[in-house]
């Protein structure tokens, strides 16, 4: 193998692979610290995997001689990032990768491709879903704050992907909060003709958000029983799916509220940041709502620091209420709402509250309060 690549193209590929390799079950596998570089049909392909997730990136360059080799990622990445030359020559000689520029040369011991894990493939002729990268990433960003990796409940360690021919529902929960986003078929194309549900691992979702750029345009998504495959023109991700059923959360979604408020999003964010500075490790803030009032009050106190409160203008409908939340969890939900104002519905001080953009049913965030003494 011999190729000539521009530094910025190589850096783009390496950035996509970064954080993918690793260890399995605490035992270091040497080959998982390597990435595979190979040429196929005059294309340069970089691949890295941790056995749960694999990323493939195609980069432009001049292929002088076809071939392949796996290389330790960290040392190669360090070299490329510190080279000053733009034009880089890579050549495989006797399982050693020779890196050459106009003023630098290095030789790195590689491992044959045959030692590299086989990357699962999905038949690209099978039914797929096609969605704009910006729409998909925005939905995932709204959801990930409500997801958490759980050793005891692995089925919660991901994002629910619930498909129907006319809509796609994505959801996440960590048992304390729940987020859901609905995408209608006006925002995606699909020739999948059956309904199905599956759960995408949180780590995979985080990599999808990190790797796919909003200017990638369309993402093609394929599924089989055990894995998901995402593809754009220059990137491919294949990941295992989570075994187990995502909890049936529909029964906890409130339809009516005893107390409703609408207030300005940015002012609420500012209030939470200020009052949150006075909280202890439980992050408790109290929200006080009085029937007929024109403001709500957010307050917090800490014996070691002091106390503070913040008044926010609000439209209030319903009963008076005092309720305690983890302010960081509340802030996560508010930030994800795509509107200038925020609607919050309550049903007493010990039942979940629902946050959404006023008049928009496409996404919501449900948060359990902290039980008051």
**pLDDT at residue 21 tops 80:** no
* Alpha carbons 200 and 154: distance in angstroms, whole number: 11
**Sequence-distant (≥ 6) Cβ neighbours of residue 356 within 8 angstroms:** 337, 342, 343, 363, 364, 365
Provide the total of helices (H) and of strands (E) in the chain, helices listed first: 6, 26
pLDDT interval class at 155 (50, 70, 90)? confident
DSSP string, 112-148: -GGGSPPPP---TTS--EEEEHHHHHHHHHHHHTT--
Q: Does residue 120 sit within a domain? A: no
What is the domain-level CATH number for residue 147?
Answer: 3.10.150.10
Reported as a single tens digit per residue, the pLDDT across 317-340 is 999 999 999 999 999 999 999 899
Whether the pLDDT of residue 22 is over 80: the answer is: no
Residues 346 and 264 in one domain: yes
Q: Would you state the pLDDT for residue 204?
A: 95
Q: 372 falls in which pLDDT band (50, 70, 90)? A: low
Please say if the pLDDT value at position 29 is more than 50: yes
CA 67 to chain centre: 34
- As a whole number of angstroms, the distance between CA 290 and CA 292 comes to 6
d(CA 134, CA 152): 33
Q: Are residues 277 and 363 in the same domain?
A: yes
Q: How confident is the model at residue 206 (pLDDT cuts 50, 70, 90)?
A: very high
pLDDT of residue 309: 94
Q: Tell the burial category of 220 from Cβ atoms under 10 Å away from its Cβ (0-12, 13-18, 19+).
A: middle
Residue 373 within a domain = no
The Cα 76–Cα 59 span in angstroms is 16
Q: What is the pLDDT of residues 89-117, one digit of tens each?
A: 999 999 999 999 999 999 999 999 999 99
List of residues 6+ apart from 125 with CB closer than 8 A: none
Average pLDDT, the chain: 92
Domains identified in the chain, total number: 3
The pLDDT assigned to 303 comes to 86
When pLDDT is averaged across residues 1-28 and rounded to a whole number, the result is: 83
- 291 falls within a domain: yes
Residue where a domain terminates, one of 89, 115, 141: 115
Is the same domain home to 136 and 197?
yes
Structure confidence at residue 24 as a pLDDT band (50, 70, 90): very low
Q: Is the pLDDT of residue 23 over 80?
A: no
What percentage of the chain exceeds 70 in pLDDT?
A: 97
| pLDDT tens digits along 242-251 | 988 898 999 8
| Assigned domain for 299 exists | yes
pLDDT at 27: 45
Mean pLDDT over residues 207-236, rounded? 89
Q: Among the three residues 88, 115, 142, which one is the final residue of a domain in this structure?
A: 115
Phi/psi at 134 (nearest 5 deg)?
A: -65, -45
End-of-domain residue from the set 210, 240, 270: 240
Q: Please say whether the beta carbons of 80 and 53 come within 8 A.
A: no
Please determine, for residue 140, whether its predicted confidence score (pLDDT) is greater than 50.
yes
Q: Domain of 310?
A: 254-367
* 248 within domain boundaries: no
Same domain for 148 and 60? no
Check whether residue 342 and residue 287 sit in a common domain.
yes
Q: Tell whether 10 and 77 lie within a shared domain.
A: yes
Is the residue at 313 inside a domain?
yes
What does the block give as tokens for 289? 């709502």
- DSSP one-letter code for 257: -
Cα–Cα dist 335/265, whole Å: 8
**Cα distances (Å, whole numbers) of residue 53 to 48, 49, 92, 104:** 9, 6, 27, 34
């Amino acid at each position: 193998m011999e190729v000539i690549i521009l530094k910025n193209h190589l850096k783009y590929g390496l950035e996509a692979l970064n954080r993918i390799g690793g260890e399995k079950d605490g035992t270091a596998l040497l080959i998982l610290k390597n990435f595979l570089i190979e040429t196929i049909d005059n294309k340069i392909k970089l691949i890295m995997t941790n056995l749960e997730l694999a990323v493939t990136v195609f980069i432009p360059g001049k292929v002088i001689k076809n071939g392949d080799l796996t290389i330790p990622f960290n040392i190669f990445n360090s070299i490329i990032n510190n080279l000053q030359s733009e034009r880089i020559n890579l050549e495989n000689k006797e399982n050693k990768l020779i890196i050459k520029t106009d003023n630098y040369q290095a030789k790195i011991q590689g491992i044959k491709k045959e030692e590299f894990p086989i990357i699962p493939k999905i038949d690209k002729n099978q039914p797929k879903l096609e969605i704009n990268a910006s729409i998909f990433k925005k939905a995932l960003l709204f959801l990930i704050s409500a997801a958490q990796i759980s050793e005891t409940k692995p089925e919660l360690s991901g994002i629910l992907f619930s498909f129907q021919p006319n809509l796609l529902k994505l959801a996440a929960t960590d048992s304390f909060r729940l987020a859901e986003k609905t995408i209608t078929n006006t925002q995606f194309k699909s020739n999948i003709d059956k309904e199905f549900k599956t759960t995408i691992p949180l780590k995979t979702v985080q990599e999808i958000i990190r790797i796919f750029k909003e200017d990638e345009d369309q993402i093609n998504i394929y599924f089989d029983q055990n894995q998901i495959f995402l593809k754009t023109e220059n990137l491919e991700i294949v990941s295992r799916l989570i075994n187990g059923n995502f909890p049936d959360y529909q029964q906890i979604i409130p339809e009516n509220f005893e107390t409703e408020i609408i207030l300005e999003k940015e002012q609420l964010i500012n209030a939470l940041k200020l009052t949150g500075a006075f909280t202890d490790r439980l992050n408790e803030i109290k929200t006080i709502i009085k029937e007929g009032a024109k403001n709500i009050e957010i307050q917090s106190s800490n014996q070691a620091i002091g106390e503070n409160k913040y008044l926010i203008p609000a439209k209030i409908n319903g009963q008076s209420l005092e309720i305690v939340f983890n302010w960081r969890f509340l802030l996560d939900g508010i930030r994800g709402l795509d509107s200038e104002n925020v609607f919050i519905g309550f049903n007493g001080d010990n039942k979940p509250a629902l946050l959404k953009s006023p008049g928009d049913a496409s996404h919501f965030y449900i948060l359990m309060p902290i039980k008051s003494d």
